[in-house]
Amino acid sequence: MKKRAFFYIIAAGVLWGTSGIFVNYLVPKGYHSLQLTAVRGVVSLLFFAIYSAFRDRRAFKVSPKELLFFLGVGLSQFGTAAFYFMSMTATSISTAVVLMYTAPIYVTVFSALFLGEKFSKPKILALCMMIVGCAFVSGLVGGLRFDLLGIIFGIISGISYASYNILTKISMMHSYSPVSQNLYGALFMMLVSLAVCNPGEILPLTAKEPLTLTLALVALGVVTFVLPYLFFALGMKELPAATASALSTVEPLSACAFGIIIFGEKPDIFSLVGIALILVAVFLLGHSEKANSKTI
């Protein structure tokens, strides 16, 4: 069973890493990053609503307190996807995914501030490595392609992703239904996206190539959201959270690989050093979390 769990986590990371493929295909067709986030929310909501209707109807019943909490989840999911896509458009797939993957920095800080978790030497070392890695990847150090707006978008995406992780921790502490969280999180992500994305443009754009673009938009939601979250949840049933977190670093690796192989992105030596520093830092944080869990 553990071998299958490893496969699930790695598959989730690879699927998350395909976001750049869809963004690079759909944005030149005229779609805005916010519109892609809205489509992702619509597809995800439909899937989780159908799943809940047939497998777990209790997921629809939530208290006002839970609903307010899931609003936060939806906002964090919106921020993660929307600003990730915008960062990718402004910079590159490699830069955007690595900046988004600085989330453990903010998770560590937020956990210390709001959940009472302590800083340790490995965590401090990992945070320093991530900050230096970010400077290299973003082009702030040694690079000639520094894009301030794109970097800001990437950092906001990372903060949003960290907020989602913290909210998921709190959700587990309160035994909230993960199905309800995904269902209502997708609902609020969709509503926020539709409110800010000029949704009236989506159908006319899709009508230009109805079959191809409809399939691409549906695949965006299924491949980059529904399937990876499903695989990750299945893997988490068999593996410790720290192990799953470490394995999921295949996401930035696969995203960078897709950028190089499919779109011809050529990271310089500074980017490669920055990517390496950030990945090592994520592993350090995962090892630190595993050690902490054994002492509890």
Is residue 110 over pLDDT 80? no
- Give the pLDDT confidence of 163-213 residue by residue, as tens digits: 887 887 788 778 888 889 889 999 999 999 999 999 999 999 999 999 999
Is residue 10 over pLDDT 90? no
Q: Which of 78, 93, 74 is nearest to 150 (CA)?
A: 93
- Give the pLDDT confidence of 229-283 residue by residue, as tens digits: 788 777 766 766 556 656 666 777 787 778 878 877 777 777 778 778 877 776 7
Angle made by CA atoms 17, 48, 204, in degrees to the nearest 5: 70
Domain ranges in the chain are: 2-295
How much is the pLDDT for 293? 47
Residues 170, 292: Cα–Cα separation, whole Å: 18
Type of residue numbered 66: E
How much is the pLDDT for 233? 72
